[in-house]
Amino acid sequence: MAIPQGPNQRWSFDFASDSLSGVSRFRILNVIDDFSHECFAAVVDTSVSGERVAPELDGVAEIRDYSCMVVSDKGTKLTSNGNL
């Protein structure tokens, strides 16, 4: 995979999760530009399904245009009808 030479060439997205004391866990979907390291989206919810990822990326693209490449290291964890 080539190293991006400018902004908007490759976005990465990944999930983080945490919990507050005595409260259920929550997840954060982060969408990052791999060149500028700018965070385009940080979606926080108790559940972020694969079907929700595509609309979130589309929302970023409405402002930034589509990236040449979008990558994630989650493998089959994000396989859903919403992402196919």
Query: Does any domain span residue 67?
Result: yes
Q: Do the Cβ atoms of 37 and 62 come closer than 8 Å? A: no
8 pLDDT above the threshold of 50: yes
Query: Does any domain span residue 29?
Result: yes
Query: Does any domain span residue 58?
Result: yes
Domains in the chain: how many in total? 1
What integer pLDDT is reported at residue 12 of this predicted model?
A: 94
In the chain, % of residues over pLDDT 90: 51
47/78: higher pLDDT: 47
What range defines the domain where residue 40 resides?
24-71
What integer pLDDT is reported at residue 58 of this predicted model?
A: 93
Query: Does any domain span residue 77?
Result: no
Structure-token pair, residue 13: 């997205």
Query: Does any domain span residue 12?
Result: no
pLDDT band at 22 (very low <50, low <70, confident <90, very high): confident
What integer pLDDT is reported at residue 84 of this predicted model?
A: 45
Sign of the alpha-carbon dihedral angle for 70, 74, 80, 84: positive
